[in-house]
Amino acid sequence: MSAIGVGEAVILGVVEGVTEFLPVSSTGHLKITEGLMGIDVDDKSVVAFTAVIQVGAIAAVLVYFWKDIVRFTTAWGRGIRDKEQRTGHDYKFAWWVIYATIPIVVVGLAAKPLIEGPLASLWVVAGSLIVGSGIMYAADRYASLKRGEDDTTLKDAMLVGGSQILALLFPGFSRSGATMSTGLLLGLDRVAATRLSFFLGLPALTGAGIYELKDAVGGNVGAAPLIVGTVVSFLVAYASIAWLLRYVAKNNFNLFVVYRIVVGVLLFTLLGTGVLES
């Protein structure tokens, strides 16, 4: 019997699509949803399923930012062939994305037993949601917001990319929350920090989805739930990206801070009363 049915895949696809790029922790929300539906969150094929449907959300980023991605990759290709083309920001930015992905790949492979073991606890998720909220609030409260996307540097990319490790080790912290907060602390405006978060998430999340595909397909999850969950994730994530970019252009992150605290406290309550098991 499949660990996840088509109906459950639709629900999880919606959750993934809505939360992957909002700074509220998609991993935390998926674990909570799976727990409430009685799905074994420790089942390797379930863990793999959640990683694979992220590819749908990543595909949404590729489609939404297609012109930007083509611009970066074209500049990178020209720079590889012609030294005179290597002074442009787009060429450098393409390399920065590659460099900034290395830390999370190294840590992800080295700490895999911890990530899939003790750190996968829902107690960790609840605590990370609340702690991450405090960091996000401070970053947003004291951000100078003086620098735009064209002002980003290699240092920005490495620090923002490296901050993804926090979300990798502490599910609930939120990859988007960590990267956006780091961008704000570095003086980037909210739109620049958000766009940088999208671009830096592409290699890591795509790689994770492809790496986990073998466990999902070869485990207790059928092809139909995988396909349905991924497609739903793509459609919902595309709408979520469009909404988020419009929202951060005119608003601060307080909405997300409050929401994260509420979810964190609720999760602690559900765990403490035995409604959910870690």
Reported as a single tens digit per residue, the pLDDT across 27-78 is 788 888 888 888 877 777 777 788 788 889 989 999 999 999 999 999 999 9
Higher-confidence position of 278 and 81:
81
Say what the pLDDT of residue 197 is: 92
Alpha helices for 111-222 (secondary structure H): 112-115, 122-141, 154-162, 164-169, 175-185, 190-217
1 pLDDT more than 60? no
Please compute the mean of the pLDDT values over residues 220-240 and round it to a whole number.
90
Please compute the mean of the pLDDT values over residues 108-113 and round it to a whole number.
86
Q: What percent of the chain has pLDDT over 90?
A: 58
Average pLDDT, the chain: 89
Label residue 216 by pLDDT band (50, 70, 90). Answer: low
Residues 53 and 227: their CA atoms lie apart, in Å, by 8
194 pLDDT more than 90? yes
102 pLDDT more than 70? yes
- Number of residues assigned to the chain: 278
Q: What is the pLDDT of residues 135-165, one digit of tens each?
A: 999 999 998 999 998 899 999 999 999 999 9
pTM: 0.87
Could you tell me which residues come within 8 angstroms of residue 153 by beta carbon, excluding any fewer than 6 positions away? none
Beta carbons of 216 and 45 less than 8 angstroms apart: yes
208 pLDDT more than 80? no
Adjacent-strand bridge partners of 147: 188
Q: What percent of the chain has pLDDT over 70?
A: 95
